[in-house]
Every structure is written in structure tokens, then in C-alpha cells.
């Protein structure tokens, strides 16, 4: 295992400075040079990793010290780094923004320090002058454990503007400005793909990525960036214990059917890999395309996504809904989260007010709103024994959704949640069904994967006897 792969962090001075655009341009430009780039995303995010995969052809992975701890984060990093020529980590929010304002916990800075990775700082230069050097200097000295290796300027107004900012930063801060992107509306992600990327119009996105790569090739010194990525002083520390194996997929374990299509595609790769390491065989199917739940399935996983965008089609797939409903009611060990939770409810009301019948195994109706209903980290504590957690056990994940239950449920929630903005109750559990708005990361409590696979084995035995 390579413990010292070339690695670099692309971080922003804050949200909205253009680090995702810069990251995608770098990934595309480097990949088409024949460099095997492994992308990572700091924090709990599904959308940017989908774009990363489109740019590199490799699955992107999330690095998160709050959900996984430092050991878990390093384990995910080292697993993803194998076979890559370069590891490029896109930050989240501003470099030092994390769980709260009092520490670096959960921030891009914590990840950079844990991995010993130099940081390239992205600045929005649209209205900047000499003061931009003071901003860079502040980021340099804020935490000595975080090394600023270079700067990329976004939205510069002209070549003269670029030269002026470059002279100020390099003269005062002694770090190189690696390049700049000019103000250009064509650099923005196509509006029609926001939220649905990269499942909708991938060809249009690929063409956009190619044009963005052209701009990056012209204006950013990729050779200097690669040199900085190799300026890693120490190897990445091995985790104290490896929490999932690297064995090949099993040949005789229980089969867990995984819904994967444009409506359901939010899965942490490690969740799937942990299930495999516990002996499960994964088989993918598409409810949106009319594929019924396979008869041989001994477990069911329906992840998050955008069922509201395809509600009419999903509602019309009566045989698909019946196949899922009958098997869940028959005791099939099932875990659904986010969009999967919504799909298993009685109905979904879209933003136009139209109501669509869903699978109907959860006694609640879902209604889409125009504002975020929940957002942020969550720690869940089991209020009762469920498919994944026992009463009192904890796991970590995140919530992000615009929908809400239109009726107050009368059932006992699966767990109590705690987050940055307070605590509450959440989730539905009955028998072997567990559904929740919270997207759990299984590495935050690896026993969850083992319990689920054991339940699938028990279900197989019951079906055969």
C-alpha cells in the first residue's frame, strides 16, 4: 500500500468562490493528459462526487473527520489512493469552516493537516485589489499545521488585473499564484443540471467539462500544481485498525438488491463495500426503468436521490411498487434513506401540488417544499432496536432535503438525532424495515453492516425452511 501518494487540497476562502469549478477543470485537464486522478470531496456531499466521477472516470470518495474520525478518514483516503497518480481533494465551504466556530473539527483544514497535504487556495478576485494579499497572509498564519502551497484566482477581470493580484500575493506572501480563470458565464455549471448531475444530460456535461479543461490548460500551471502535490513530507498514518477488508466480492453470501438509477443514486462507496466485506452480494436494479425487485433478493437498499423529479414515472410503475411492498411486508431486511424513505411512504406531493402514490409501506405522506427542511450533520442514538442499531447505540451521518412529512407520524421514531441546530426525533422502524431521512455512513459504526447482512442470512434461512 502506498502511504505517501501525491496529494493536494483545493480549498476556498469561503463558500461560492468557485472551488468546484476550479476542481472540475483541474480534474478534466489532468485526466486527459493521461494522469490517473483520484478525486475526493471533504464533507458529506453526493453531488460534487458525481461530477468528479464524470470528469475522471473513477468513483470519488468523501473524506469526513466528524462522521468517521481521523482513522476512518485516513482509511477511506488510502483505499481510494491505490492505483492513482494524484489525489485531488476538493474542500467544503471555507478552508477552516467545520462543525462549529471554535475548532477545525470537520473542516477541510483538519483533513489537510491529517493527510499532510498542501493546500491550493481559491479566491474570488472579482472585486479584489492589493487587499487580497492580506487575505492570503491571514490564511497562511491562521494554523501552522496547514500549508498554503499556492493560490488560484477566480473571476479576474483582465490580464492586467491578474498581474496586479499576482504581484501583490507573491510579493507579500511568498506563495505562487498558479493561475487564474477570467470572469466568464460559460464557466458556470449548466443550470439545468444543478442538483441532478451527473444523471441528467451527461453528454452536455461532458462537453462543458471539455471546454472548462481547455481554459484550465491555458491559464493554470498544471506542472507547478503537480510539483506541489509531490511536496508531501510524511506518509499518511495508517489507521489503528482497518474496519473493512479488501477481499474480492463473495460468491455465496446473501444478495442485497440496491436501487440505482436517476432517482436513487446517493450512496457512500464505503457503505456498499462494508456490506460486501461482511459477505453480501450486491445486485443493482432500476425502479425508474420498471425493473421489479429481484425475486432472489434477500435484502433491499434504497438510497437517496431525487424521486420527486421522477414522481410521475415512479408512481406509474405499479408492478415495481407491488414487488417491493410485498417483499417488505413479508419480512425482507430493508434499509431506505433520504429519497428512498420518501419512496416507501404512501404518497409524494410535488412542488406543483400534484400527489403521486408511492410504495405505501410507511404510513405517512411526503410533501415537497421550496426551502430546505433539514440540513447538516446528524448523530443518531437508537431509541429502540432496529435493523442497524441497537437501543442506545450511536452512528453519524447527515441530512439534506426539501421535503417533509405532511402528517405528524404516530409511530415511535427509530432514533433521537442531534445536530448543530438542536435535537429531535426521526426515522421509521418496524420489523426488518428501517427508513430515515438521515444518510448514515456505515464506517461511523461498522456493526451496522454486519447486523444487516446477518439479518439477510436469517431471512434466507427462513425462506428455505
Instruction: Identify the segments of the chain with pLDDT beneath 70.
Output: 189-202, 233, 241-250, 420-422
Separation of alpha carbons 180 and 264, rounded Å? 37
| Pair 140, 194 in one domain | yes
Counted domains in the chain: 2
CA 164, 165, 168, 174: dihedral to nearest 10 degrees? -130
For CA atoms 305, 272, 235, 100, the dihedral sign is: positive
- Report pLDDT for 244: 61
Do 162 and 39 lie in one domain? The reply is: yes
Record the cell numbers describing residue 160, joined without a space: 492586467
Residues 263, 164, single domain; the answer is no
Buried b (16+ CB within 10 A) or exposed e, 171-186: eebebbbbbbbbeeee
Residue 12 lies in a domain: yes
pTM: 0.92
Q: What is the pLDDT of residue 202?
A: 67
3-state secondary structure of 420: coil
Last residue of a domain, one of 166, 195, 229: 229
22 and 159 share a domain? Answer: yes
Structural domain contains residue 108: yes
Beta strands in 177-309 (DSSP E): 177-182, 255-259, 264-266, 281-285, 299-302, 304-305
Q: Are residues 261 and 221 in the same domain?
A: no
85 lies in some domain: yes
- Would you call 455 helix, strand, or coil by DSSP? helix
Question: Residue 293 maps to which CATH number?
Answer: 3.40.50.880
State which residues form the domain around 291. Answer: 255-464
Residue 263 in contact with residue 290, Cβ under 8 Å? no
Q: How far apart are CA 285 and CA 315, in angstroms?
A: 17
Cβ atoms 453, 278 nearer than 8 A: yes
pLDDT at 53: 93
Amino acid at each position: 500500500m502506498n502511504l505517501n501518494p501525491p496529494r493536494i487540497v483545493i480549498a476556498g476562502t469561503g463558500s461560492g468562490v468557485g472551488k468546484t469549478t476550479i476542481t472540475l477543470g483541474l480534474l478534466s485537464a489532468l485526466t486527459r493528459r493521461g494522469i490517473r486522478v483520484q478525486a475526493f470531496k471533504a464533507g458529506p456531499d453526493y453531488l460534487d462526487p458525481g461530477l468528479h466521477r464524470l470528469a475522471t472516470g473513477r468513483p470519488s470518495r468523501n473524506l469526513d473527520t466528524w462522521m468517521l474520525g481521523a482513522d476512518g478518514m485516513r482509511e477511506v483516503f488510502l483505499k481510494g489512493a491505490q492505483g492513482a497518480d494524484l489525489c485531488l481533494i476538493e474542500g467544503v465551504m471555507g478552508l477552516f469552516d467545520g462543525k462549529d466556530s471554535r475548532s477545525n473539527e470537520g473542516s477541510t483544514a483538519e483533513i489537510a493537516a491529517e493527510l499532510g497535504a498542501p493546500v491550493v487556495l481559491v479566491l474570488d478576485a472579482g472585486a479584489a485589489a492589493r487587499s487580497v494579499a492580506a487575505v492570503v497572509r491571514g490564511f497562511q498564519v491562521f494554523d501552522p499545521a496547514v500549508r498554503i502551497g499556492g493560490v488560484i484566482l477566480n473571476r479576474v477581470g483582465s490580464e492586467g488585473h491578474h498581474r496586479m493580484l499576482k504581484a501583490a500575493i507573491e510579493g507579500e506572501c511568498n506563495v505562487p499564484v498558479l493561475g487564474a480563470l477570467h470572469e466568464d458565464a460559460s464557466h458556470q455549471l449548466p443550470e439545468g443540471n444543478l442538483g441532478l448531475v451527473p444523471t441528467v444530460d451527461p453528454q452536455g456535461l461532458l462537453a462543458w467539462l471539455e471546454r472548462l479543461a481547455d481554459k484550465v490548460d491555458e491559464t493554470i500551471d498544471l506542472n507547478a500544481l503537480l510539483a506541489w502535490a509531490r511536496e508531501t513530507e510524511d506518509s499518511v498514518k495508517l489507521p489503528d485498525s482497518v474496519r473493512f477488508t479488501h477481499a474480492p466480492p463473495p460468491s455465496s453470501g446473501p444478495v442485497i438488491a440496491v436501487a440505482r438509477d436517476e432517482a436513487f443514486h446517493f450512496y457512500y462507496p464505503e457503505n456498499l463495500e462494508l456490506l460486501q466485506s461482511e459477505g453480501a452480494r450486491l445486485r443493482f436494479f432500476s425502479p425508474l426503468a420498471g425493473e421489479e425487485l429481484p425475486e432472489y433478493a434477500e435484502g433491499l437498499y434504497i438510497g437517496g436521490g431525487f424521486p420527486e423529479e421522477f414522481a410521475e414515472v415512479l408512481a406509474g410503475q405499479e408492478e415495481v411498487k407491488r414487488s417491493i411492498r410485498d417483499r417488505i411486508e413479508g419480512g425482507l431486511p430493508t434499509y431506505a434513506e433520504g429519497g428512498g424513505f420518501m419512496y416507501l411512504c404512501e404518497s409524494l406531493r410535488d412542488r406543483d401540488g400534484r400527489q403521486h402514490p408511492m410504495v405505501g409501506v410507511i404510513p405517512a405522506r411526503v410533501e415537497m417544499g421550496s426551502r430546505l427542511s433539514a440540513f447538516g450533520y446528524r448523530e443518531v442514538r437508537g431509541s429502540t432496536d432496529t435493523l442497524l442499531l441497537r437501543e442506545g447505540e450511536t452512528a453519524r451521518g447527515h441530512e439534506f432535503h426539501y421535503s417533509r412529512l405532511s402528517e405528524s407520524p404516530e409511530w415511535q421514531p427509530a432514533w433521537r438525532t442531534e445536530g448543530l441546530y438542536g435535537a429531535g426525533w426521526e426515522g421509521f422502524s418496524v420489523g426488518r424495515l428501517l427508513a430515515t431521512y438521515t444518510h448514515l455512513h456505515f464506517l461511523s459504526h461498522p456493526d451496522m453492516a454486519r447486523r444487516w447482512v446477518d439479518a439477510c442470512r436469517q431471512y434466507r434461512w427462513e425462506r428455505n425452511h
